[in-house]
Amino acid sequence: MKILVVDDEEPARRRLIRLLRDIPGTEVVGEAGDGEEALRRIEALGPELVLLDIRMPGLDGLSLAQRYVDLPPLVFITAYDEYAVQAFEVNAVDYLLKPVRPERLLSAVERARQRLLATKEAAARALSAVAGRGGPTSRIVTVTRGVIRLFDARDVTRFWSSDKYTLFRADREEHCTEEPLSTLEERLRAHGFLRVHRGELIHVGSVKALRSGEGIHEIELQDGQIARVSRRSLSALKAALGLAE
């Protein structure tokens, strides 16, 4: 489990990181000293759990959780007990008081692990149920903080790989699905999607322009997104667009 540690006091961060080293299956992927930095780290590192202090300068932990809904599971860690109700109102996994006892930290991490597992299983069931209706489905499933959302791929122009996830834009926001690009390629072929690069799957009908120069090929889509095109995929793309070689 990838964990981000957020606390404005460096000694507190160091202690949490030391305690996490004794918990099997955990990896501290980064740390932050305030809410704004935490947002940047979450976007860049993709943690599966955030250990979050409540009182911090600038954007504090509770305000962060209340303002942004698309966050990983949160465990609040604080010296104050009066925020517990508000913490659980934002669906916190746990609420730990400083100084954190090792056994309580272990319990919180295990609770987060079970929540992640349950969420993934729910997403898999949702995807299986959609696919089980017969024929090529256009449904895309995402899971964010336990909320399962369904999108129609026909409203999407592009899917692209990022680390072990697949990203796409819908409703003017970026979303993430665990379904691999290779699976989407097979499933969405009947809906006009074509793999144009190892990390790019695009809707052919949404192509606005094809550009080539200095050995680099890319396409512009109707919504302004730009996708790379590999040399080996160029012929197939031109054929799909009805362009002569």
User: Which domain CATH number covers 27?
Assistant: 3.40.50.2300
From residue 89, how far is each of 76, 95, 111 by CA, in Å? 12, 12, 17
First-residue to last-residue Cα distance in the chain? 48
146/232 same-domain check: yes
Give the model's pLDDT for residue 150: 87
Domain count for the chain, please give it: 2
Is 128 within the bounds of a domain?
Answer: no
Residue 128 is predicted with a pLDDT of: 62
User: Of 121, 46, 50, 120, whose CA–CA distance to 87 is shortest?
Assistant: 50
Does 140 map to a domain? Answer: yes
- Residue 215 belongs to domain with CATH number: 2.40.50.1020
106 and 148 housed in the same domain = no
Tell whether 85 and 141 lie within a shared domain.
no
In a domain, 182, yes or no: yes
Same domain, 71 and 38: yes
Other Cβ atoms within 10 Å of 169 Cβ, number: 18
CA distance readout (Å), 125 to 119, 129, 131, 162, 174: 10, 6, 10, 23, 23
Residue 151 within a domain: yes
Q: Same domain for 178 and 232?
A: yes
Q: Does 127 map to a domain?
A: no
Give the percent of the chain with pLDDT over 90.
50
* Domain-located, residue 125: no
DSSP 101: P
Mark whether 96 and 28 lie in a shared domain.
Answer: yes
Within a domain: 104: yes
Same domain, 97 and 171: no
- Same domain? For 73 and 166 the reply is no
Which residue range forms the structural domain that includes residue 176? 135-241
* pLDDT tens sequence across 193-240: 999 999 999 999 999 999 988 889 999 999 999 999 998 899 999 999
Are residues 88 and 145 located together in one domain of the fold?
no
pLDDT at 5 over 50: yes
Is omega for the bond preceding 99 within 30 degrees of 0, making it cis? Answer: yes
- The reply to whether 143 and 110 lie within a common domain is no
Query: Is the pLDDT at 7 greater than 50, yes or no?
Result: yes
Q: What is the pTM of this model?
A: 0.56
Could you read off the pLDDT of 153-205 as tens digits, one per residue? Answer: 999 999 999 877 899 999 888 998 888 898 899 889 999 999 999 999 999 99
- Tokens 């932050």 correspond to 32
- Is 163 in the same domain as 225? yes
